Amino acid sequence: MKNTQFLFQIHYLISPTMKSVSQLNSMQSRSLLHTCLPLMNKKTTRIDSNEEQLHMKIDNKQSKDYMMHHEIYSEKELNDIKITHKKFESWHDRVAFAAVRTMRFFFDTFTGYIHESSTSKSDKIIKTMTEQQWLRRFIFLESIAGVPGMVAGMSRHMKSLRTMKRDHGWIHTLLSEAENERMHLLTFLELRQPGYVFRGFVLLGQGVFFNAFFLTYLLSPQICHRFVGFLEEEAVITYTRCIENLDAGKLPAWRNLPAPQIAKNYWKLSNDAMIRDVLLVIRADEATHRQVNHKLADVGPNAPNPFLIQTTETQTPPSIDEQQEIDTANKN
């Protein structure tokens, strides 16, 4: 009798708690759907019909508005992207470039990056990167690349609150860059889901890089933006080499691989878009970030955002002439 009474009391106490947990899970489910569903393939989304109807009512009004500004490219703009390198003009540039090269060394080692030289003088067979190795590199790269824009935007936001002064348009540009890099990551995650060990290294790398970048940004925003500009130069090189490998037939699994639905929706790609089209638009994004951060480093942290007018209207990716302006290291 006592045991029955005790079990009844436990059931009485647990029932309200379980009901609250169930309600919380339902709220979280709707929140996640509201954030992610417009970019995801409906075939892969598991939701109840009632929740879907509720969400789609909200989605009709907001699905086109909640994403921040990002570029939509023409075919000519995608093919006009060039590899560039900015010449050193101050000690800030040298410090930033040294940091990029150091980071690149450890990053290449961890991801197993192999660069096949097109001008190899020997007949020795050089092992090329596989599709899985490229994905491992891209996922790790984009998990780190989304940090600078968020840290810089957060730092300038807090400074604006502290000093009670306007930011002159930098915050929006920096946060939109961070979101754009995150969308690169989400796109590649449609092709591969990393394991726990990989995620652990991402957590470690993100923790170290976030804090190092934050402290450096407080001391010298110019070094940080130059660092990102040089880092994006390396990203353009990486994606260019991957596209070249794909065109040369060295990545057979990707030859007829359709673009993930999230990429088609985000970059407004055609329904028959392939993975090559995704690589092209991501490379164009990196070239845009390269251009933006080099320019922000040039004007200094106290100047108005030079891209303010463009972000409020229709922003276009850097033209060939604009890319040549920062390709100062390759000029005679």
Q: Which amino acid is at 137?
A: R
Q: Which residues are annotated as a binding site?
A: 142, 181, 184, 232, 286, 289
- The token duo for 90 is 């101050």
Q: How far apart are CA 254 and CA 275, in angstroms?
A: 7
Q: Which residues are annotated as a binding site for Fe cation?
A: 142, 181, 184, 232, 286, 289
Per the DSSP assignment, residues forming a β-bridge with 243 are none
Q: How far apart are CA 217 and CA 151, in angstroms?
A: 8
Pick from 185, 135, 177: nearest CA to 285: 177
- The token duo for 190 is 């449609």
User: 3-class secondary structure for the chain?
Assistant: CHHHHHHHHHHHHHHHHHHHHHHHHHHHHHHHHHHHHHHCCHHHCCCCHHHHHHHHHHHHHHCCCCCCCCCCCCHHHHHCCCCCCCCCCCHHHHHHHHHHHHHHHHHHHHHCCCCCCCCCCCCCCCCCCCHHHHHHHHHHHHHHHCHHHHHHHHHHHHHHHHHCCCCCCHHHHHHHHHHHHHHHHHHHHCCCCCCHHHHHHHHHHHHHHHHHHHHHHHHCHHHHHHHHHHHHHHHHHHHHHHHHHHHCCCCHHHCCCECCHHHHHHCCCCCCCEHHHHHHHHHHHHHHHHHHHHHHHHHCCCCCCCCHHHHHCCCCCCCHHHHHHHCHHHCC
